[in-house]
Amino acid sequence: MSELPDRRVFLRRADWDELGAHFRWRVPERLNIAHLCCDSWAAVAPDRVAVIHRATTGDRQLWTYGQLKRASDALGCALAARGVGRGDRVAVLLPQHPAALITHFAAMKLGAVSLPLFTLFGGDALRYRLADSGARAIVTDAATLDRIMALAPDLPDLTMIIVIGPSVAPVLSFEALITGPADLTLVDTHADDPAVMIYTSGTTGDPKGVLHAHRFLLGHLPCMELSQDFFPQPGAIGWTPADWAWIGGLMDMALPCLYYGVPLVAQRLPKFDPDAAFRLMADERVTNAFIPPTALRLMRQANPPPSIALRAIGSGGEALGADLLDWGPARLGCPINEFYGQTEANLVVASVSGMMARVPGAMGLPVPGHQVSLRDATGEVGIGAVGEVCIRAPDPVMFLRYWNKPAATAQKLADGWLRTGDLATRDASGQITFHARDDDIITSAGYRIGPVEIEQALATHPDVVMAAVVGAPDPVRTEIVVAHVVLREGADWSGMETALQALVRARVSAHCVPRRVIRADSLPMTATGKIMRRALRSHP
């Protein structure tokens, strides 16, 4: 059976500088992620395993590229028959499941934009994203259907709700749709046509829809290959515990695996369990994984089975530290390689064992193909000086724009550079070390959490007058979410912390729940009435 040509960016091993010197982007004018990650493989190797699905029941199911193509073609036909077309948004509210990939591909084949959403989002978080995006359709499951049905009257653009499992009209059956007519013609898309929109946490306002083009898949590949030991090697199998709703889970492992023809393990872990993660990786002979730092810290406390087959682990979102860098080779027999990026421009810096000196806490060197500079108001800063991490535009991995936010887009992309809002230093060898954030993002357990949505949820409680949310240092999670609240006069504090935590869990998400709720008589304010969160971070 014929195979596709070797898709690797780096066809041979070389040192970092040599790879960078010879690197050139090869982005064709026309491309489509669904074609690259599904249809092109189905055409030459339809029986090749694409996804290994481990259901919560314990069942194990193999999905081939041919099956993914047939199912996504059928779903695409059903979406098109109901008016979904080029540029429309199709929401994916699903855990790690083949249906999530099928939905992404179906939308992309129509020239539509897939919209991944986190299954733990509460009502307010879902309402905002679905309304702001103007999503025309959504695919979900029984666990989250009630949330969507409760919101549907407030979402006039949402005309198509599809559920996995039993359905009652007007809700449509996913299983019925993917077995229907599948005579779909893939829409001809430009590399710069919109493909995916991922909402990033709001820091000084509402969450922003980060709109990415089809080319951004190719922009991820250099770092993917280098951080995963010149991925893919023969026999490679990939997995990540990260939810595919986030750019880390979707683009640091899931879609690159399918692009390279590497089997992708999909399993929903309701709560991360290090022993279960080790068992899964051993059972499926996982060779390459993307695992966030908090999960690695929890795994370090468990005992990996001797049958573990890992070759490399990629990790990002926060510094690992020397202890984890040593633990990987010593206990897992593989390096843990760090990388840096954000939703708007991912995987642009990496620290890779065997290719550079590993400096604990350092993010590493700019990945070949990405021009990264530390800058202040006057230009690039010198060695040892603090500057904002900036990425030269254009770049294939870089976002197109923020959805419906032209002013925010212009602020993010200024003078030919994407401004990350992160501050860092650079040493004489060029390695970049994170210094601080110039905004109020909280990094907790690998999630980048914005305070605004949490504050808005807290303020809906009838006894809360004001609320401010900040991060506090934590040895396991990097930071925990801490809420400072001012109550109305005469309000009873008894049971308030539990009630406010439950409110955030229901309205925003479980991963945003404050671990501490502190009662305050007042909050520090600027002269213009803005809350000074920085002053709250020093609260004991």
Domain boundaries, the chain: 31-189, 442-536
pLDDT for the residue numbered 1: 39
> Do the Cβ atoms of 240 and 253 come closer than 8 Å?
yes
Q: Which amino acid is at 134?
A: G
Q: Regarding beta strands 336-342 and 362-366, do their DSSP bridges make them parallel or antiparallel, or are they unpaired?
A: unpaired
Residue 539 banded pLDDT, cuts 50, 70, 90:
low
> Do the Cβ atoms of 309 and 288 come closer than 8 Å?
no
Instruction: Give mean pLDDT, residues 223-238.
Output: 97
pLDDT at 28 over 90: yes
pLDDT at 486 over 90: yes
Burial 225-241 (b: 16+ CB within 10 A, else e): bbbbbbbbeeebbbbbb
Q: DSSP labels for 382-397?
A: -TT--EEEEEESP-TT
Q: Beginning with the edge strand found earlier in the chain, give each strand of the sheet holding 464-474 in spatial order.
A: 464-474, 478-487, 516-519
For tokens 């990097």, name the residue: 478
Residues 69 and 72: their CA atoms lie apart, in Å, by 5
Q: What CATH number should be reported for the domain whose range is 31-189?
A: 3.40.50.12780
Burial 517-529 (b: 16+ CB within 10 A, else e): bbebeebeeeeee
Structure tokens at 422: 């992160």
- Please tell me whether residue 266 adopts helix, strand or coil conformation: strand
Cα-only R_g, the chain: 23
How confident is the model over 38-71, as pLDDT tens digits?
Answer: 999 999 999 999 999 999 887 999 999 999 999 9
Q: Which CATH superfamily is domain 442-536 in?
A: ANL, C-terminal domain (3.30.300.30)
Considering the entire predicted model, what is its pTM?
A: 0.89
pLDDT for the residue numbered 320: 80
Q: Which amino acid is at 243?
A: D
> Do the Cβ atoms of 111 and 86 come closer than 8 Å?
yes
Do the domains 442-536 and 31-189 match in fold? no
